[in-house]
Amino acid sequence: MSETVDMPLASAKSRRYSSRHPIVRVLLSLFVCAAGLVVFAPGASAHAVLIDTSPSAGQSVTSSPSSVSLTFNDDITVESNAIRLFDVKGRLLDIGTTQVDPSNAKKVFATVPTLNNGTYVVAWRATSPDSHPVNGAFTFAIGTSIVGADARSLVAKLVDDNCSTAVGSILAIARWVIYLAVSISLGGLALAMICWREGLTNRRFRRGMTIASVVAALASLVSIAAQGAYAAAQPMGSLVDSSLWGDVMSTRFGQAALVRVIGMALVAVAVRTWTSEKSRSAVLIGGVGAVATIVSLAVSNHGMTGRWPAVAIVADIVHLAAMVVWVGGLVALFRWVIRDLPTELALGVVQRFSTSALIAVGLLTASGVVQSIRQVGGPTALTTTTYGQILMVKVGIVIVAVGMAWVSRGLIRHWSAAHTTLSGRVLQPVGAAVLEERPLSASNPDIPPELVESETRRALRRSIGIEVLLVFAVLIASTLLSNTIPAIEAVALPFRQTVVGVSGFAEVTVEPARAGLTALHVTVTNTDGSVPDIGAITVSIRLAERELGPLDVPMERFESVSNHFQSLNANFPFPGTWEMTVVARIGQSEDKEFVLSVPVR
């Protein structure tokens, strides 16, 4: 202990400055966060789900249909060529533009000309209300005895016509940068308004807030370009395609991004024009920009979808506002306040922010509980869906961050005591950061209070620095949640997959894809898309992780359709990824076999 107490002040300063590399640490943190988004973002789930088609997948109709229609579980946005029709040889046919059904916003259709007997492939693409694209393909036939080309490669190509992984990563990183930059900008503005009114007269602080606002605006523009390419499944080069930008600007995502750009511009103007502690015009401009920015974030994600939309949008706005106050305030404390300000001023700011942060975390928790009830539903969905699992990780990180906040509050009290104790008794450092009260001894009458204060300031900055890194991770989890289907929707959605095998196609639907009794539908077609005369279909399921199965699922013919079988009492006893084997028996000796994985929640 005496070794720590007797350390010369110059030595303490030398150690402090030699260990400071803030730019390197920040860049490293940003790199780690971006790498996490690149790894996890491409696997995020789409949100709107196709629940019905006309003609049905694999169906054989006796005459040419007048249109092709698709019905989804939610309202969707489509482009004019969202539905494309190919013949079995891969030639794109001329059909009408894709339109939303006036009587049902969840249904889209395109008129088709009179078609000859044969097999046709429908490819489709749409955008969910929360900006996530979905796509797929299926076949149907006209007539009963059809011989055509092998359509397997065409269907496989169209089914796998997914969005670019690189573009998806750019979009995810842009979203995370938006969250971070908006938090720093608006959180810093809130800190100045509530805890440090003279802060915006500080040139370095103003410059930091301005940079954060500009970065948020630029990242919003990048997100518009990336969303256009992502929704259209185009490569990186299409980021500069202005026609795709126009498509995005007609959606809620694009309009919200534009409002965010304007909001961040207003905040930057407010920060740069702040001339005194009572700049009313700057306060008004900054307040309008902040509100516009928060609302734009709320309406561009899950806030406008699902149940209780009115409650959801209010909870989302409160959640985002509380988040920026907490996150931005922590960054400002770490970067500017604790390191640079005189002790009395820094202590006042830190103590006032400590109270504000406590309120913000309370609002964050309350609004988060409301959103969890709305978007998760029950405890089973927490463990069986991607959304629930990410949410639990986020909550865990927040709990650790709040724990670090309590450590910081204790250090604030010690710092205040150390600053006011200038005679008689002094707080001395013990170990790395813990302080205890000790009398001045005769052998050490000249213990400088500055040393005690310096050690405490460094310990507090370290503690808040850990909080900052933790909230960076919280923002990653928030970004991933915004790119993942809510748990309450996931457990109720059907599983639908086109399986391309060596002897044809199988359309498999499990509705809903959750543990227990459910409905299973299987439709099998030949390689050329024609309809085989199937005698029977057998289905077996196996859950390898529990060493369960194979279990047989009794199937029966659906009405009089020769290639469509169903089971209304298919039983998946446990959640997990089940391996399903489908065997269609044709005649006495021919079998068509398909194997697929079915995620059950």
Contact 392, 357 (CB under 8 A): no
**How confident is the model over 117-164, as pLDDT tens digits?**
888 888 888 777 666 677 777 778 887 544 455 666 677 667 666 666
- pLDDT (mean) for 509-513: 84
CA–CA distance, 534 with 437 (Å, rounded to integer): 86
Most confident of 259-263, 406-410, 481-485: 259-263
Strand partners for 232: none
Contact 117, 148 (CB under 8 A): no
Of the chain, the end-to-end C-alpha distance in Å amounts to 57
**How confident is the model over 320-333, as pLDDT tens digits?**
888 898 888 888 88
**How confident is the model over 95-112, as pLDDT tens digits?**
888 888 888 878 889 999
Ordered DSSP codes for 57-107:
TT-EESS--SEEEEEESS--B--TTSEEEEETT-PBP--PPPEEETTEEEE
pLDDT surpasses 70 at 68: yes
Q: Give residue 214's pLDDT.
A: 93
DSSP type of residue 251: S
CA–CA distance, 466 with 460 (Å, rounded to integer): 10
Q: Give residue 302's pLDDT.
A: 60
**How confident is the model over 487-510, as pLDDT tens digits?**
777 776 778 788 888 778 888 888
What average pLDDT does the structure give for the chain? Answer: 77
pLDDT surpasses 60 at 19: no
Q: At 87, give phi and psi (nearest 5°).
A: -85, 175
Contact 534, 181 (CB under 8 A): no
**How confident is the model over 201-252, as pLDDT tens digits?**
788 888 888 999 999 999 999 988 888 887 777 777 778 787 778 878 877 8
Ordered DSSP codes for 329-363:
HHHHIIIIIHHHS-HHHHHHHHHHHHHHHHHHHHH
- pLDDT (mean) for 407-416: 73
Contact 272, 281 (CB under 8 A): no
| Dihedral angle, C-alpha 540, 542, 548, 549, nearest 10 ° | 20
Q: Give residue 211's pLDDT.
A: 92
Query: Which is more confident, 597 or 14?
Result: 597
Of 247, 215, 214, the closest CA to residue 230 belongs to 247
Reported confidence tier of residue 293, pLDDT bands at 50, 70, 90? very high
Residue 568: how many other CB atoms lie within 10 Å: 11
pTM above 0.85, yes or no: no
Reported confidence tier of residue 276, pLDDT bands at 50, 70, 90? low
Question: Using alpha carbons only, what angle is made at residue 404 by residues 403 and 410, rounded to the nearest 5 degrees?
Answer: 100
